[in-house]
Amino acid sequence: MSELNNIALKIIGAGKGILAADESNGTMTKRLNSVNVESNSQNRLLFRETLFNSDSMKDCIGGVILYDETINQSSSSGKKIPELISDSNSVPGIKVDTGAKTLANSPEEKITEGLDGLRERLKDYYKLGARFAKWRGVYTISEKYPSKLSIYSNAHALARYSALVQESGMVPIVEPELLMDGNHNSEDCLQKTSEVIKKCYEQLELHKVELKGTILKPNMILPGSHSDEKIDTSKIAEMTIKCLEESVPSEVPGIAFLSGGQSEREATKNLNQINLKNKTNFIMTFSYGRALQQSALKFWSKDLKNIKGTQEVFNHRAKMCNLASKGKWSEEVDKI
Ligand code: 5MM
């Protein structure tokens, strides 16, 4: 088990965090189309390998979550993508859920699927070089949601997935994401996130998952994107820490937040404040998709051949997140 704990610490220790580059083809198509780039496997690879070849990979990115298409690709230099990532001393990871589908008997909610055949798929991913995996449960916040059914069934799936991932020698990232969509306030977000996370650990413990060899990937505590509530970064940090302190068992080595639709700057600022206030033993870092890639993608879309320039933009964002994970970020250093 200390082996899995070592992998977890390699991914999130020393101010490093995770680059979530596991957009499924549908999501990646949306991202590329939003900047007028055609979504084909060549362009998806070109953008991603540009990031994976960046200088900041070595000091700032401890792990990269890949999608099935990417883990099977080779870079333009002929190197396999997982090897390219390991060469920067970063850990290759893989998204293994097959997506969130309509939850039977609660059709406005989602259940994440992908358990069938998972044991065999994990063996293949291990052979390809993956040493950690990711599964995302998705929950809506409203007066009646998330329902008990969604909280229980997603926790059960996350626990079964985690047990299988550990059995295959990899670290499971446990990602229960309560979406920011809606007009709920921060207090609702705190209550509901706490209930969801507690249920996840109840199930992980029932399934005998060794918590030392896991990483939690939660949302921060924020008001809904359509709420009128005004909240400052200090309050966000306090509420986020409170939620995690009361719901995450102390054996869990660390927490890597998702950005969930926050801007790059907001996600960095909030993480920094969380680390300034963090008195727990949990490592608190990032596992960002959009908040690490947005500016780089926009820059790259203007000239797909400008690899160096795109890498500079990405390096800056990765460095800012690295500083935030140590509580050393400031508005001044984030000026470009
Ligand atoms: C990278 O995006 C992942 C979603 O992919 P699909 O929806 O296409 O399956 C997502 O799980 C991501 O890893 C997390 O939500 C974190 O990304 P953000 O952009 O919220 O930081």
Q: What is the mean pLDDT of residues 218-234?
A: 98
Q: Which domain holds residue 302?
A: 2-324
Please tell me which residue in 175, 177, 192, 264 is annotated as part of the active site: 175
Quote the Cα angle for 151-153-157, to 5°: 115
Q: In testing the pocket of ligand 1, which one of 11, 19, 23 has its CB within 8 Å of the most ligand atoms?
A: 23
**Residue 37 reports pLDDT greater than 80:** yes
Q: What is the C-alpha separation between 281 and 232, in angstroms, rounded?
A: 24
Does some domain include residue 274?
yes
**Residue 1 reports pLDDT greater than 70:** no
Does some domain include residue 315?
yes
Q: What is the mean pLDDT of residues 202-218?
A: 98
The CB of 93 under 6 Å from ligand 1? The reply is no
* Ligand 1 midpoint to CA 246 (Å): 25
212 with 251: CB under 8 angstroms? yes
Q: What is the C-alpha separation between 243 and 88, in angstroms, rounded?
A: 34
**Residue 203 reports pLDDT greater than 70:** yes
* Ligand 1 midpoint to CA 302 (Å): 24
Does some domain include residue 258?
yes
For 134-161, the pLDDT digits (tens) are 999 999 999 999 999 999 999 999 999 9
Q: In testing the pocket of ligand 1, which one of 18, 19, 22, 297 has its CB within 8 Å of the most ligand atoms?
A: 22
Mean per-residue pLDDT of the chain: 98
Please tell me which residue in 199, 217, 264, 269 is annotated as part of the active site: 217
Q: State what percent of residues in the chain have pLDDT above 90.
A: 99
Helix (H/G/I), strand (E/B), else coil: 85: helix
170 with 133: CB under 8 angstroms? yes
Q: What is the C-alpha separation between 289 and 281, in angstroms, rounded?
A: 25
User: Which CATH number characterizes residue 319's domain?
Assistant: 3.20.20.70
* Ligand 1 midpoint to CA 175 (Å): 10
Q: Report whether the peptide linkage leading into residue 107 is cis, meaning its omega lies within 30 degrees of zero.
A: no
125 with 96: CB under 8 angstroms? yes
pTM exceeds 0.85 for this model: yes
* Residue 114, token pair as written in the block: 């992908």
DSSP 208: T
Does some domain include residue 164?
yes
For 263-311, the pLDDT digits (tens) are 999 999 999 999 999 999 999 999 999 999 999 999 999 999 999 999 9
Does some domain include residue 277?
yes
- The question of whether 175 is a catalytic residue gets the answer yes
DSSP 218: P
* Ligand 1 midpoint to CA 279 (Å): 28
Q: What is the C-alpha separation between 169 and 175, in angstroms, rounded?
A: 19
**Residue 336 reports pLDDT greater than 90:** no
Q: In testing the pocket of ligand 1, which one of 290, 293, 294 has its CB within 8 Å of the most ligand atoms?
A: 290
DSSP 147: -
Q: What is the mean pLDDT of residues 216-224?
A: 98
Q: What is the pLDDT of residue 41?
A: 97
Phi and psi for 183 in degrees, rounded to 5?
-110, 20
**Residue 9 reports pLDDT greater than 80:** yes
Q: For the beta carbon of residue 99, count every other beta carbon within 10 angstroms.
A: 14
Does some domain include residue 329?
no
Q: State what percent of residues in the chain have pLDDT above 70.
A: 100
For 89-140, the pLDDT digits (tens) are 999 999 999 999 999 999 999 999 999 999 999 999 999 999 999 999 999 9
Does some domain include residue 333?
no
The CB of 27 under 6 Å from ligand 1? The reply is yes
* Ligand 1 midpoint to CA 75 (Å): 22
Does some domain include residue 15?
yes
Confidence of residue 200 (pLDDT cuts 50, 70, 90): very high
Number of domains in the chain: 1
